[in-house]
Amino acid sequence: DVKVTQSSRYLVKRTGEKVFLECVQDMDHENMFWYRQDPGLGLRLIYFSYDVKMKEKGDIPEGYSVSREKKERFSLILESASTNQTSMYLCASQWGVGNQPQHFGDGTRLSIL
């Protein structure tokens, strides 16, 4: 079974802090994704990566950056956290060959005070 692990289930940070959300997958998947989930808005894609050191902007990249230094790890970075970034963050990974489904982690509920 595919396992996607997000380092924290719950996280509380202060406005202006630099925040790192970590995601690790154990299936040697090429593609990894970061989404945020908000009530009434569903899931929105922030960034994705299709290879080490490669990244692509999703629908809402503003205020975020990402890092993919190793194939198994995809980090989401909030450069200067703001209260409107309080949300549930979901990481997903996907095999890069053919039309394969995405597999999700359990999510990180981030609160910015």
Partner 1 sequence: GEDVEQSLFLSVREGDSSVINCTYTDSSSTYLYWYKQEPGAGLQLLTYIFSNMDMKQDQRLTVLLNKKDKHLSLRIADTQTGDSAIYFCAEMFFSGGGADGLTFGKGTHLIIQP
Contacting residues toward partner 1, per CB under 8 A: 4, 6, 30-31, 33, 40-43, 45, 48-51, 54, 56, 58, 90, 92, 94, 96, 99-107
55 and 68 in contact (C-beta within 8 Å)? yes
Least spacing, CB of residue 7 vs partner 1, in Å: 13
Least spacing, CB of residue 25 vs partner 1, in Å: 12
d(CA 90, CA 60): 14
Least spacing, CB of residue 88 vs partner 1, in Å: 9
Least spacing, CB of residue 16 vs partner 1, in Å: 28
Shorter beta-carbon distance to partner 1: residue 16 or 52: 52
Shorter beta-carbon distance to partner 1: residue 71 or 104: 104
Shorter beta-carbon distance to partner 1: residue 15 or 43: 43
Shorter beta-carbon distance to partner 1: residue 16 or 96: 96
Reduce the secondary structure of the chain to three states and give it as a string. CCCEEECCCEEEECCCCCEEEEEEECCCCCEEEEEEEECCCEEEEEEEECCCCCCEECCCCCCEEEEEEECCEEEEEECCCCHHHCEEEEEEEECCCCCCCCEECCCEEEEEC
